[in-house]
Structure formats: structure tokens, C-alpha cells
Amino acid sequence: MQSRIAILGAGMTGLAAGVASGHPIYEAEELPGGICGSYYRRPGMAGRLPDTPVDGEAYRFEVGGGHWIHSGDAVLERFIRSLAPVRSYARQSSVYFPDTGEFVPYPLQNHLRYLPPPLTARIIGEIVQGANASANVTTLQEWLHASFGPTLCRLFFDPFHERYTAGLWKSIAPQDGYKSPGRLSVILQGAFGDTPPEGYNTRFMYPLDGLGALAQRMAALADVHYRKRVVKIDVERKTGYFADGSDVRYDALISTLPLNVMTELTGVPPSSKPDPYTSVLVLNIGAVRGPRCPKDHWVYIPGSSAGFHRVGFYSNVDRSFLPASARNQGDRVSVYVEVTYGGGQRPGEGEVARLSRSVVDELQAWEWLREIEVVDPTWIDVAYTWSWPMSPWRDEALRLLEAYEIYQVGRYARWASGMSQGIAHSMTAGFAVGAALARG
């Protein structure tokens, strides 16, 4: 008899596994897509819309802020295009210094010519001097200082990572090196002239109708059961229990739930110290565009008063994020702002309201925004995953779950870092695991 296999989570990874295998997917929310799901807000009206209204007069946002598809895999791109027309883009990104009002193209270390010449000379000298020091580092802070020197770290990397990691950068293992490339030859070239694009998402694509539309079309090819929030998994009886009182028996599980969540649900935590994670409050904002509003797709902020570390501009990627009547006017902007918290330290409603006002006030003071039409906060509990130096926790957790035929797949499920964090990589992994277990 064919074994019973269930999939937990209808984010992009779980949907890919469900499409490839035909096995049922159990999703906690009412819509597919997870943090990559899109939604709509009309100016002046409360409540989210799952789809664009008939008149098109709504801002489109995403639950987890801007998520763009960086692939290079021709087969995966063909699949995506078969379901949802997409556009391709060349990344526009920069670092903004509020004290001076200056923008420097991203990555900062490759564009040192934008800084005062004496400062550039000092930074280059420190980078050259520390070129061989990175082999002896154990923390992200040490790696950054060895790679870029104290001056550039004081200017950008220290204050940015303090916010980006909610203070963890001083004790976690180095990672995200692909986001902070440090090739000396390119750094030297950038001190005097143009450099080739480096870092992540130098080119990316995005569905014309939003990621939510892609998720819904994938869901139409799969067997998705909504409003099925898992509250317990009995690994001995191989039964998953849902908040609505129902349950599912299985022979094997494909799980896209975060690894720390699965160790709690199953009651089989590793003996080693759990690796940390950070949560993110995403403020989605629709507003009148200010006179100094950047044209970038996203901007890194090392020193905001309100504590945010990145501002993204949905509508600079594509005007379809704007209400239909504003798409050809150039006077509106759709924005997401990221504020990081220690793992699970969710702020209360009063704190969110206060922070929202502070963020809006600061963006208006910078003249990026004028009148505000929509402010809509979303919360991503497990947003970024990190590891302690030499930590065995991730591998131990995965082995324990696999011993009970629970297979973790996707970015958060496998506590992934580096380039394996992208949408495309997670979808590819979902297709692979789904195909491998299609017959049970």
C-alpha cells in the first residue's frame, strides 16, 4: 500500500513540493505563499484584500517585505513563466548616510570613490593590511573588521549589523559573505572608477501580478488544506494535530516549518544550545512621493533614529504596486521598512503604533515621503536564521527529525544561510524533495 506523506506549510517551498508530489499540503493561514504572499490595501480604508480590486485602486504589498526571484536556473524560470508573466530587472541599490544626506551605491566597499579621498585612502590601507586576517576569526564582527578594517566598519558595517542582527553580530558565526563581497581587486578598482555589479540579486525577476498570484497558481496545481495550524506532532504515533481539533496520520512528513518550531512541536529538541534567530517588523507604507525619494529598489541605512536598517521601494521595481490611477503620475510610492527584533520578541500594539509614527516622521524629515495614505505592519517571527560559532545544533536537529521520517526542506526549515536563502533555491529544493517522495 502506498505510504501516506503530508507536507506542512504552503509557502513557496511547500507549494513546490506539493506540485511535484501530489501529496496534501497543510497550511495555517487562509492563503498560500507564506511571507512571499501579496495583499492589497485601499487608501483610507481598513482591512486587507487578497486580490487586486476590479478598479485597481489599491497598493500592493507583501507580507514579508520585498522578495525578488534570483535564479539562473533555466528550468525553474520556465516553470515560473508558465504560470505567471514576469519582468527582469537589474538591481539598483545604495547605502544612505542620514547625517550627510549622501547616497553611495551598494556594495559600499566597491564604491569608495564616493567618499572623501583621505577617508578612501585610509580605508584601503586598512583593508590591504587585514587581507590575511580573516582566517582567524570566529564571529561575524571579527570577520567584518578583518575584511573591511575599523574605519569602514565604524562608518557602516558596525551600526548596520547592530540593527540588522538585533545585536547578535558580536557573537554569531560569520555568514552572509555573499552580501558583503570583499575582493581586493574590485575594491581598488572602485576607488577610482566603475565596477561590475557584485553581491546578491544583481539581476532578478518578479511576477507582473505579484508573488501572491504565483503562489495562488501553484496552489491551484496542488492539494492545499487551509486553516490547518499544527499544534503538536506525535512522532511515535506519526500523527499531526491541528488547532481546529482535526489530525492527520502520516508515514513521513515534508516540513517547511522553521527548524526551531519543529523541534518544539515534536518534543525532540537537540541537547546542544539552540542557534539564534531574529524577527522582523515590516512596515508597508503607501504615500505621496517626496522630492528626495530614492530611485533605488532598496537602500541600506546604518544610522536611522527609529532603528530600521533597510527601506525597500516596491514601486521602484514595478509600478503595478501602486493604485492604478497613480501608475503613470510618478507622485506615489509603495515602500517597505524593516525593523529587527531578537527572536520572538514581538512588540505590542502600542509599541508598533509608536514605531510606525517614528518611522514615518523620519522618512518625511528626509523628504522621501510626504502625505501618508496607508501604513500596514506585518510580523515575521523567524525572519533571519543565525548560528553560534561551531554550533552542532542545526545538524543535530535535522538528524533527530529524520530519524522519525520528518524531512525539513527550505530556507527556514533547514536553518539555511548564504545563497541558499533565496526563493528560487527554496523552490528548487521543494521540487526535488517532492519528486523524490512522489511515490511515497
Q: CA 224 to CA 222: how far, in whole Å?
A: 6
Question: Which cell numbers in the block locate residue 322?
Answer: 501602486
Q: CA 99 to CA 244: how far, in whole Å?
A: 52
Supply the pLDDT for residue 346.
95
Supply the pLDDT for residue 129.
82
Supply the pLDDT for residue 419.
45
Residue 107: asked if its preceding bond is cis (omega within 30°), the reply is yes
Question: Nearest-5° angle of CA 139, CA 384, CA 419?
Answer: 80
Instruction: Name the segment(s) of the chain with CATH classification 3.50.50.60.
Output: 5-33+207-272+390-436
- Give the helix/strand (H/E) hosting 358: helix 349-365
Supply the pLDDT for residue 175.
82
Nearest to 35 by CA among 61, 73, 6, 16: 61
Other CB atoms within a 10 A radius of the CB of residue 183 amount to 13
Report yes or no: 387 and 278 within 8 Å, Cβ to Cβ. no
Other CB atoms within a 10 A radius of the CB of residue 435 amount to 14
What is the full per-residue pLDDT of the chain (440 aa) written as tens digits?
A: 356 999 999 999 999 999 999 999 999 999 999 999 899 999 988 899 988 999 999 999 999 999 899 877 889 999 999 999 999 999 999 999 999 999 999 999 999 999 999 999 999 999 888 766 656 789 999 999 999 999 999 999 999 999 999 999 999 999 866 556 668 888 989 889 888 888 777 889 999 989 999 999 999 999 999 999 999 999 999 999 999 999 999 999 999 999 999 999 999 999 999 999 999 999 999 999 999 999 999 999 999 999 999 999 999 999 999 999 999 998 999 999 999 999 989 999 999 999 999 999 999 999 999 999 999 999 999 999 999 999 999 999 999 999 999 999 999 999 987 544 689 999 999 999 999 999 77
Supply the pLDDT for residue 135.
64
b/e map 290-304, b = 16+ CB within 10 Å: beebbebbbbbbbbb
Supply the pLDDT for residue 96.
98
Q: CA 26 to CA 399: how far, in whole Å?
A: 23
DSSP letter for each residue of 304-339: -SS---EEEEHHHH-GGGS-GGGTTT--EEEEEEEE
Q: Does domain 5-33+207-272+390-436 have CATH number 3.40.50.300?
A: no
